[in-house]
Amino acid sequence: MPLKASHALPPKSRLGQNFLHDHAAIERIVDALGPLDQRTVVEIGPGRGAITDLLATRAERLIAVEVDPALAAALRERFAMTQAQIMQPRVEIVEQDVLTFDFAAASRQIGQPLLVVGNLPYYITSPILLHLAASVVASEPSPLDAAVLMVQREVADRVTAQPETRDYGLLTVLCALHGIATPLFTLPPDAFSPPPEVHSTVFRWRFAPRFQALDLDAASFSRLLKSAFAQKRKTLSNNLRAAGYTAAHIAQALHQTSTPPQARAEELSLDQFAALHHALTAAQ
Ligand code: SAM
């Protein structure tokens, strides 16, 4: 049976399939990756290939990871034809859940840090961000250079928030720990087909992990952050009490780091959290 062209396949909302059709936005996303002629790009969720087509003309090599078998097959057929003409297999369509994709292994195989791009499936935005962060921590040197990602506007607001603002939280500090996130631009729902219910924002995440500079163990520091932000309305001190630290232990660590006793987690920068972590660990 012949394959259906990707546009003949009905979108699957359970896979977050909202296809981008704003050509200016596609150009801006690919431009935001910088020069690509000597780079390998991994695209998360290529879908019907809106961004993939432009990436394929610019990148030295492209790995597109798509979980939907029908879309992956349609893309594979399309690029196989193009590549047969130019005799240079540069585009690889991988049918896989991106949450199981081994970025570190791909980077090792290619011998350079990867660039990542994607109009993300919104139902798994946070797991994808955490998977990228974990890939950066797990291997040295970093297998990832930068990512340009489209996410729900509210998530981008949280990722790129400043301390003491409503959106500042666990996701902000975790992303800051792994690099620098900068918002680029926002699109309305009608830039997509079918339109999602939310606005979408593209942000760039330049990976520059700070664990070594701040002398932090990734696992225990992540545990502290999760405890600190566990309940937004509670003070930092009360959240740490709930996580099992004694009142005296917390008071001493807050004093040592000049943190006010009534401070909430959203008032602390990454560096202040690192200092607090060291004080709590030293006082144990
Ligand atoms: N890049 C295309 C575009 O901009 O039009 C499609 C973007 S659409 C928002 C998200 C894409 O991610 C869909 O093609 C969907 O099938 C794919 N997807 C969903 N879950 C995935 C997963 N776990 N791993 C890889 N791709 C996934």
Q: Measure 167 CA to ligand 1 centroid, in angstroms.
A: 26
Nearest CA to ligand 1 atom 14: 47
Whether 20 is in the pocket of ligand 1, judged by its Cβ within 6 Å, is yes
pLDDT of residue 173: 94
DSSP state letter for 96: S
Is CATH 3.10.20.30 correct for 214-283? no
* 63 ligand 1 Cβ < 6 A: no
Positions of the chain with pLDDT under 70: 1-4, 82-89, 283-284
Give yes or no for residue 185 CB within 6 A of ligand 1: no
Closest CA to 281 of 194, 195, 217: 217
CB distance 49 to ligand 1 below 6 Å? no
Q: pTM of the entire structure? A: 0.92
Q: What are phi and psi of 226, to 5 degrees?
A: -60, -40
Q: CA 150, CA 155: separation in Å to the nearest integer?
A: 10
Q: Does domain 4-209 have CATH number 3.40.50.150?
A: yes
Single-letter amino acid, residue 136 = V
Query: In a 10 Å sphere around its CB, with 0-12 CB exposed, 13-18 middle and 19+ buried, how is residue 81 labelled?
Result: exposed
Where helices occur in 187-269 by DSSP H, the ranges are 218-228, 236-242, 247-256
pLDDT digits (tens, 9 = 90+) for 82-95: 665 554 558 999 99
Domain ranges of the chain: 4-209, 214-283
For ligand 1, is residue 45 a contact (CB within 6 Å)?
yes
